[in-house]
Structure 1
């Protein structure tokens, strides 16, 4: 079972820059797989408030790339409506180049219409957002492969999508969401990883979602085993490593091999250390 950290709350009261860097270094030292940051312009964590501190995601990841050496870096997840697709792909590629091949491309349709209204961001109907997501995925894979031929989609037209420099290694694509008709179909066709939620029902929902994904993979002619299955879960305030590890031991039985962990409020190095201890227990 691999463990990653999701940073969603940046409201450290005194030294945001120093605390964020310390958390990233602690995550790397603890052997965690990836550090994910939320991609919002307004704070969207339900345990926080919209006026709390929120950093732009790719600038933040660039800052963290300079302070770490091994840990993966990505967004959980970028809405395709926030940036034109070529700009989004270029940001991920730049992160990969400057971090030595550590970028992860977490992407989705977006869901926060209140944030869009507040910040003047486009928020088209859901059907169009899915169309834009698929076009962005197609374009990313083409640009990373060095294909500069014109791109003609329903919503995006690029005369010459140049992807230079190319990534150190093609960023792994994670599609956020578990919608059965559209999202998981896109996972089967384009993604390296999916992300489901830790619903407290003994794994029934997760097993069902993964069974749907398996059917989409069969229809797409793609091996189901190629796709990494991740789950978003929480470390409760004050929870011990043993308690958290005890909850995670069920995940492989559900078909999950990677947990992305968030917590209430901003992370501390001590809480990150708890995750590292849990990882050691899970590896035994």
Structure 2
């Protein structure tokens, strides 16, 4: 199994209490931890969002994803760089292809393109994007991925689509990576999103219970078979909200500290609900001792998971959980 990790960027109130002037230093330090030669993490990730979740805060930071991509490209040397996931409708796809190509050059060929249809209605409307229905958001995703693939493989893109029209958009120089930047299609919609993934994706990223994950994997295989593509060419990934501790008591203490940081922003009830939904009941909750987490990931691997991406809410304040994961969980699964 392969591993990546998210860098805290504020989206889930994971930089609260830190002076904004220090945010970049904190984010860069976490990225450097993952970038180290001895690190088992092969990628770092950010979210493409503008407002905090589960509630939009008018005072707390959410740092912009592609600005961070360029900064990490220049400040790291080994680790790969991704977003989970870029919202297709937030930027013109030809422009996004150009931004990503330049970032890939800065990084020496280490960028991954996570891409999806988008969902966070509050920030869509706040930023003046409206909030089109699901079929339109997915139609934009399909056309945008086609534009990016053309741009990265030929240096130009032309498409007279329903949602996007580009006419000889030049993207030079192209990305350093042969064949263009790897595409991660995020989402598990069976009739549209997984068809897009079957056609374009190098990686998928979807969630669900063990049974749901296995079912979506079967659906993806069916779409690949229909177009004559080898389904094994697509790596399956999933994001995990991760809290790891040396004992049950340590895990409980870590969860309590996370909840305590959320209370000033979500209230006592909201903080408790957030911890419950993210770290207890969510399909992507990965909470426990190293042995417990290994067992959970082995179950996921048995139904097709290849790549685990960790979101560790403590990372800006305390890296001991990540260090424990690296020391005891990763070796058992690699």
State the TM-score, normalized to the length of structure 2.
Answer: 0.78
Mapped pair 1:269 → 2:319: yes
Give the aligned partner of residue 171 of structure 1.
181
* Structure index of larger Rg: 2
Does the alignment pair 1:39 with 2:88?
A: no
| 1:282 aligned partner | 333
Shift in Å at residue 79 of structure 1? Answer: 0.8
- Paired with 1:31 and 1:64, the residues of 2 have a C-alpha distance of 18
2:89 alignment partner, SS class? coil
Q: Give 1:113's match in structure 2, choosing from 106, 121, 124.
A: 121
The one of 76, 84, 91 equivalent to 1:76 is: 84
Seen in structure 2, the aligned counterparts of structure 1 residues 43 and 237 have a Cα distance that, compared at 3 Å, is farther
SS of corresponding position for 2:195: helix
Q: Gaps (5+ residues) in structure 1?
A: none
Matches within 5 A, 1:130-145: 130-145=138-153
- Larger relative contact order (Cα-Cα within 8 Å, sequence gap ≥ 6): 1
- 1:85 equivalent to 2:89? Answer no
How many angstroms apart in 1 are the aligned matches of 2:158 and 2:24?
41
Following TM superposition, by how much is the alpha carbon of 1:250 offset from its aligned partner in structure 2, in angstroms? 1.6
Provide the alpha-carbon RMSD of the alignment.
1.8
Distance in 2, Cα, partners of 1:240 & 1:69:
31
Shift of 1:219: 0.7
Residue 114 of structure 2 aligns to a residue whose secondary structure is: strand
2:283 is aligned with 1:234 = no
Q: Deviations over 1:151-176 (max 9, x none)?
A: 21112111211110110102110011
Equivalents in 2 of 1:250, 1:122: separation in Å? 40
Displacement of 1:124? 1.9
Deviations 1:64-105 (A, max 9, x none): 122211111011001111011111111211111110110000
Q: Which of 62, 66, 75 does residue 67 from structure 1 map onto?
A: 75
Q: Is the 8 A contact 1:242 1:281 kept in 2?
A: no
Residue in 1 aligned with 2:29?
Answer: 22
Is 210-219 or 142-151 further displaced after alignment? Answer: 142-151
Distance 1:142 1:241, change over 3 A: same
Return 7-16 or 159-168, whichever deviates more: 7-16
C-alpha contact (below 8 Å) 1:174/1:193 kept by paired residues:
yes
- For residues 62 and 89 of structure 1, the distance between their equivalents in structure 2, rounded to whole angstroms, comes to 14
Q: CA, structure 1 residues 266+115, in 2 after alignment: closer, same or farther (shift >3 Å)? A: farther
Separation in 1, partners of 2:310, 2:233: 23
SS of the residue aligned with 2:78?
A: coil
- Please give the alpha-carbon distance, in whole angstroms, between the structure 2 residues aligned to 1:28 and 1:244: 23
The answer to whether the aligner puts 1:100 opposite 2:119 as a matched pair is: no
In structure 1, what is the equivalent of residue 307 of structure 2?
A: 258
Q: May I ask how many residue pairs the two structures share in their alignment?
A: 278
Change (3 A) 1:4 1:198: farther
1:204 aligns with 2:211: yes
Gaps of 5+ in 2: 246-287
The one-character-per-residue Cα deviations of 1:227-281 (angstroms, maximum 9, x if unpaired) are 0000111212644434322321222211111111113355443333233222123
After superposition, the Cα gap between the structure-2 partners of 1:87 and 1:271, relative to the gap in structure 1 and judged at 3 Å, is farther
Report Cα offsets for 1:116-166 as digits up to 9, x if no partner: 122223432211111111111111111111253632111211121111011
Question: TM-score w.r.t. structure 1 length?
Answer: 0.91
Take 2:157 and 2:185, find their aligned partners in 1: how far apart are those partners?
A: 25
Measure, in 2, the Cα distance between the counterparts of 1:280 and 1:149: 43
SS at match of 2:75: coil
